[in-house]
Copies of this chain bind each other. A is one copy, B any other.
Amino acid sequence: MKRYEQVVQTLAQRIEQGVYRVGDRLPSIRALCREQGVSVSTAQEAYRRLEEAGFAEARPRSGYYVLPRTTPSVLPKVSRPAQRPLDVSQWDQVLELVRGTPGEDEMLMLGRGIPDLGAATLRPLQRLLATLHRRVDARGLNYDSLAGSRELRQQVARQATTSGCLLHPDDVLITTGCQEALSLSLRTLTAPGEVVAVDSPSFYGTMQILKAQGLKALEIPTDPQIGISLEALELALEQWPVRAIQVTPTCNNPLGYTMPEPRKQALVALAQRFDVAIIEDDIYGDLAFTTPRPRTIKSFDDEGRVLLCSSFSKTLVPGLRVGWMAPGRYRDQAMHMKYVSTGASATLPQQAVAEFIAHGYYERHLHEMNRQYQRHRDILLGWVERYFPAGTGVSYPQGGFLLWLELPGGIDCVRLNDRLARERLHIAPGSLFSASGKYRHCLRLNYAAPLTASIEAAVQRVGETVMAMQEEQAALVS
């Protein structure tokens, strides 16, 4: 056995024994040399091999980190939705998730889409908000202009260059959260009874817009690593009168994948060929773990066919309700829809976010958050591996702070939630993410906030409850 092979073996054993846990930073090259009495090149070779074997990954200017073991962990399967236009249901379950104020009822909501609100890099935002509200003049109390404050539209347009988009401030419309951007987009493009193609699973908020507007969801099979199946989409476009395609292609909620750029480009081409609009939800896009962040579909669109929707609810805080859209060639109709929906958006939060970006705080915050979320992803992957039954499928998010699990053996996550409620735990059942309540055997977990011991204990309880349900099921069958 060569010297570096011995080092690899030692490190691999320690990882397997849990000396180093998923998401931990491994010793630096220097430290490893000292500890093992080897040369720098031997240590480097050892890490290269460890990386090849899937035990660790290098992060630029930071070091090597323990990866979740990829061998036993299984990806969720490619989804197989109905592939015909369906009415959307599931409102009762969504309401259960969104009704309450977190904390108010002491329920530990493990599945909600909320970022880390305690992050230190958010503090300048609070300072800006306090200052603006102290110094507020009549303009700050008045209706803002309908499209939104010019300063914020300018910052949004500048920021969009990081995703390959060339936007003019006048291309941007400020909205009351991404939810309003999505609602306006759908109202701009469709009339009741019409069909919208969606990736699947898909954000329940969008699903419920379809329901409220009397639209039909055409759920397209979606791969947990590369997104919506273009092949299936093409067939669907041939077969059904699709009015719009709605996708979340970057750091997808709930699956965490990012569509590879060539596929994004191909999606635009497909939309052109069938002359259909695309609603691109990019709300998690700035939380990608790669730098520069992936391009938007919009950045490949030179016809104004893509309505890009986003907000600062995941990248900063949701409570301000500051979102935006770039509705392309549909700007005039979108503006009318915006006016009748809520009029101008609130004035001061727009100013605060604009200044936060202008001062460079946003970039810094993203940088910190994306490191944190990536670390947390790995830790949560480790917990899932440890506490959930073998055969549990689990996503491998490329950004954001949401994990998707696919439970083996037909466990029903709505029933799981009922059981967990006794322990004041709550997960987001997969059925929320489908028009017709598919994915009941799936669930979504959040890893944004610090993964404390009590969260680990909660994840462990969820895993144990799943296993208990499995055993009960097995007992019934036998």
Contact = CB atoms under 8 A, between A and B. Distances in A.
Given A176-B342, A320-B346, A101 B145 contact: yes
Contacts of A140: 319
Contacts of A98: 143, 146, 339, 343-344
Q: How many copies does the complex hold?
A: 2
Contacts of A337: 212
Interface in A98-114: 98-104, 114
Contacts of A134: 126, 130
B347 A139 contact: no
Interface string A368-412: 000000000000000000000000000000000000000000000
19 contacts: A95-B335, A95-B339, A99-B146, A101-B139, A101-B144, A102-B139, A117-B141, A117-B142, A129-B133, A130-B130, A133-B133, A142-B319, A176-B321, A211-B340, A319-B347, A320-B347, A321-B343, A321-B344, A321-B345
Interface string A185-207: 00100011000000000000100
A91 B209 CA distance: 25
A136 interface: yes
B336 A208 contact: yes
Interface string A284-302: 0000000000000000000
A318 interface: yes
A74 interface: no
B180 A143 contact: no
Interface residues of A, number: 67
A429 interface: no
Interface of A: 91, 94-95, 98-104, 114, 117-118, 122, 126, 129-130, 132-134, 136, 138-147, 149, 176-177, 179-180, 183, 187, 191-192, 205, 208-209, 211-214, 313, 317-321, 335-337, 339-349
Contact of A180 (B91, B144, B212, B341): B341
Contact of A342 (B129, B214, B321, B336): B321
B129 A340 contact: no
Given A99-B145, A100-B145, A145-B104, A319 B340 contact: no
Contacts of A342: 176-177, 179-180, 183, 321, 341-342
Contacts of A349: 346
B136 A341 contact: no
A452 to B, nearest CB: 14
Contact of A346 (B130, B138, B336, B346): B346
Contacts of A103: 138-139
B145 A117 contact: no
A347 to B, nearest CB: 4
A116 to B, nearest CB: 9
Contacts of A183: 340-342
A95 B130 contact: no
Nearest to A105: B145
B343 A205 contact: yes
A209 B340 CA distance: 5
Given A138-B117, A179-B341, A340-B205, A318 B143 contact: yes
- Chain B CB within 10 A, most for which of A142, A180, A344: A142
Contact of A318 (B141, B146, B149, B176): B141
A107 to B, nearest CB: 12
A196 to B, nearest CB: 13
A111 to B, nearest CB: 14
Please provide the 6 A-B residue pairs with the shortest distance between their CB atoms, ordered closest to farther.
A319-B347, A130-B134, A141-B317, A129-B133, A117-B138, A176-B342
A126 B134 CA distance: 7
Contacts of A138: 103, 117-118
Contacts of A94: 339
A145 B319 CA distance: 10
A336 B212 contact: yes
